[in-house]
Amino acid sequence: MSWPKPMPIVEVEWIDSMERAGWRSADDWDRDLALDTLSCRSTGYLYREDDRGVVLMQSQAETGALADAIEIPRMAVQSVRVLRHGKARERHSA
């Protein structure tokens, strides 16, 4: 049986939002907000890439069901690298 939707496996580098809370002076905020952004990497099955962003799926069943999505907004995406091209694969018996 071949899989219903062959998808490439990709690695996405992206910048995450960071939350900073609490009362502090403007000078303290200036120092705190000047800190580097939080760079992240995620891997998964490339479900969609368009003007809105990139959607990765963690898992895909041979029935076509998908599980555990992460949607990364386009403005946060730094790069998308293909780790393995999507191709139909036959199921092998163990």
Instruction: Give 5-50 pLDDT, tens digit per residue.
Output: 789 999 999 999 877 788 989 998 888 777 767 899 999 999 999 9
Length of the chain: 94
Establish if 44 belongs to a structural domain. yes
**3 — pLDDT class (breaks 50, 70, 90):** low
Write down the pLDDT at residue 58: 96
pLDDT exceeds 80 at position 88: no
Verdict on whether the full-model pTM lies above 0.95: no
Is residue 92 domain-resident? no
The answer to whether position 4 is within a domain reads no
Give me the domain span that covers residue 34. Answer: 9-84
With 0-12 / 13-18 / 19 or more C-beta atoms within 10 angstroms meaning exposed / middle / buried, residue 69 is middle
The whole-number pLDDT of residue 12 equals 98
Domain count, the chain: 1
Q: 32 in a domain, yes or no?
A: yes
16 domain-assigned: yes
